[in-house]
C-alpha cells in the first residue's frame, strides 16, 4: 500500500494542469491500482495519450487510450491492442515498447508504453522549414530500417508521417522512434476485419498511397514507401506533393494524378534525388521501389550522407522538447483514421 506521503510526492511530480477536454476525467486517477494518470501529452486521430507514473517502481510511462467516440468500436479496440502485439513481435529499437495493457471504466482498452522524449519531425520542419538533402536522406534510411523489420513480420504501418517520426539526442548520437502502429495492416488480422476495411481509408490523407486512398485493405510495404516518399518530399520542399479543397478531392488527386517532380520545384534537388523521390511516390505500386530495403540501398548508393550529417541534424533538435500538441486533428490532413467510405 502507498503511504499518504509517498502518494503525495508522486502526485506532485505529475502536477496536472487544470484538466480539460476529452478523457480529462482520467487525469489524477489511478488505473487498475497501478498507474497514476498525469497530463495529456498527445491527441491523434483515434487515441489520446497521457503521461503516467507506474506506482510499482515510480517509472514515467505513457498511457494511450481511445478517444471517447471510438471507445465502443471493436475494431479500434483491437487495433490499440495490436500496437502491443507489434511491439512484442517486431524487435527494433525504434519501436516504442509496450509494457502492459488494461481496461478503462467504460470497458475500452488502454496500453502502457515507454515514454519517448524528443521532437517530432513535424515540429522540426515547422521551425526549420526544410532540411538539407543529406539530413533528409539520413532520416529516410533510419525509417526504412524499422519499416523493413515491421514488413518482415507482416505489419504495414500505413501512417508514416513526420509527426510519427520522433528524434532525440541520445548517448549514441541521433535516436529516432517510429510511433503509432495504431492503423497498421497486419497479416495476423482476422479475415473479417480486413473485409470491413474495404472501401475505408486508413492513414492521414496527405500521406496515404493511392491504394490506401482507394480503400484497398490489401496493401503491402510499398504503401509505406509511398508515405515515406511524401515525407522526403516535404523535408526538402516544405510542402506535400498533393493538396485539395477537401479530403475527398485530395484523395481523388492522389488516386488519379502523378505527383509533381521535386526536381522541377527546387533547383537544389539533383536528378538522382528527384528520381529517388519519384520512384518512392510513383502512383502505381509496381513502379515504386519494391521494398523499404530497396529504398535504403538506393539512398546509400547516392553517397550523400557523411560524418557531419548526423551532427548537423542533432544541432537542429531543440534541447528541451515541448509538450506535443497534435494540431493536425483539426487540419485537413489530420484525421489519422478516416472511416468515411470513399467511392
User: Among all residues, which ones are annotated catalytic?
Assistant: 159
149 lies in the site for ligand ADP, by CB under 6 A: no
- Min separation Cβ 58 and ligand ADP, Å: 17
The one segment of 40-48, 125-133, 147-155, 266-274 that binds ligand ADP by CB under 6 A? 40-48
Residues 242-261: x/- map of binding to ligand ADP (CB under 6 A)?
A: --------------------
H and E: helices and strands count for the chain: 12, 13
Region 161-180 residues binding ligand ADP, contact defined as CB under 6 A:
163-164, 179-180
DSSP bridge partners of 318: none
Mark 304-315 as b/e (b = at least 16 C-beta within 10 Å). Answer: bbeeebbeebbe
Of 163 and 224, nearer to ligand ADP (C-beta) is 163
3-state secondary structure of 261: coil
Which of Mg ion, ligand ADP, none does 96 bind, CB closer than 5 to 8 A by kind?
ligand ADP
Angstrom distance (rounded) from CA 334 to CA 336:
6
113 lies in the site for ligand ADP, by CB under 6 A: yes
Rg over CA atoms, the chain? 20
Helix 292-302 and helix 271-280, axial crossing angle in degrees, nearest 10? 180
- Min separation Cβ 130 and ligand ADP, Å: 21
The sign of the dihedral angle between the CA atoms of 288, 290, 296, 297 is negative
- Min separation Cβ 41 and ligand ADP, Å: 5
End-to-end CA distance of the chain: 56
Residues 48-87: x/- map of binding to ligand ADP (CB under 6 A)?
A: -x------------x-x-----------------------
121 lies in the site for ligand ADP, by CB under 6 A: no
Angstrom distance (rounded) from CA 105 to CA 32:
10
Of 47 and 210, nearer to Mg ion (C-beta) is 47
Region 300-339 residues binding ligand ADP, contact defined as CB under 6 A:
324, 326, 336
Angstrom distance (rounded) from CA 64 to CA 300:
36
Which of Mg ion, ligand ADP, none does 231 bind, CB closer than 5 to 8 A by kind?
none
Contact 36, 58 (CB under 8 A): no
Of 60 and 274, nearer to ligand ADP (C-beta) is 60
Of 104 and 269, nearer to ligand ADP (C-beta) is 104
Angstrom distance (rounded) from CA 166 to CA 41:
14
- Under 8 Å CB-to-CB from 20, ≥6 apart: which residues? none
Positions touching ligand ADP (CB under 6 A) are 41-42, 44-47, 49, 62, 64, 96, 113-116, 120, 163-164, 179-180, 182, 324, 326, 336
Amino acid at each position: 500500500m502507498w503511504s499518504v506521503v509517498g502518494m503525495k510526492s508522486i502526485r506532485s511530480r505529475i502536477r496536472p494542469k487544470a484538466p480539460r477536454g476529452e478523457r480529462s476525467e482520467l487525469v489524477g486517477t489511478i488505473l487498475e491500482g497501478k498507474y497514476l494518470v498525469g497530463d495529456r501529452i498527445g491527441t491523434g486521430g483515434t487515441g489520446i495519450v497521457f503521461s503516467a507514473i507506474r506506482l510499482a517502481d515510480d517509472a514515467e510511462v505513457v498511457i494511450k487510450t481511445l478517444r471517447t467516440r471510438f471507445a465502443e468500436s471493436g475494431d479500434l479496440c483491437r487495433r490499440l491492442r495490436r500496437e502491443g502485439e507489434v511491439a512484442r513481435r517486431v524487435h527494433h529499437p525504434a519501436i516504442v515498447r509496450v509494457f502492459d495493457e488494461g481496461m478503462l471504466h467504460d470497458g475500452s482498452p488502454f496500453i502502457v508504453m515507454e515514454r519517448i522524449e524528443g521532437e517530432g519531425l513535424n515540429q522540426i520542419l515547422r521551425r526549420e522549414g526544410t532540411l538539407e538533402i543529406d539530413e533528409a536522406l539520413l532520416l529516410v534510411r533510419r525509417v526504412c530500417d524499422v519499416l523493413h523489420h515491421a514488413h518482415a513480420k507482416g505489419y504495414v504501418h500505413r501512417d508514416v508521417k513526420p509527426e510519427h517520426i520522433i528524434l532525440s539526442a541520445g548517448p549514441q548520437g541521433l535516436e529516432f522512434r517510429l510511433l503509432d502502429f495504431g492503423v497498421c495492416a497486419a497479416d495476423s488480422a482476422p479475415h473479417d476485419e480486413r473485409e470491413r476495411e474495404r472501401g475505408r481509408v486508413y492513414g492521414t490523407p496527405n500521406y496515404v498511397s493511392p491504394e490506401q486512398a482507394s480503400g484497398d485493405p490489401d496493401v503491402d510495404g510499398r504503401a509505406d514507401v509511398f508515405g515515406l516518399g511524401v515525407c522526403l518530399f516535404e523535408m526538402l520542399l516544405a510542402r506535400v506533393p498533393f493538396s485539395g479543397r477537401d479530403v475527398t478531392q485530395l484523395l481523388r488527386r492522389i488516386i488519379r494524378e502523378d505527383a509533381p517532380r521535386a526536381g522541377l520545384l527546387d533547383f537544389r534537388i539533383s536528378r538522382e534525388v528527384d528520381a529517388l523521390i519519384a520512384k518512392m511516390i510513383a502512383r502505381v505500386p509496381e513502379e515504386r521501389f519494391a521494398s523499404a530495403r530497396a529504398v535504403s540501398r538506393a539512398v546509400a548508393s547516392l553517397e550523400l550522407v557523411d560524418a557531419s550529417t548526423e551532427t548537423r541534424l542533432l544541432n537542429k533538435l531543440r534541447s528541451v522538447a515541448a509538450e506535443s500538441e497534435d494540431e493536425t486533428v483539426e487540419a485537413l490532413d489530420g484525421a489519422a483514421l478516416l472511416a468515411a467510405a470513399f467511392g
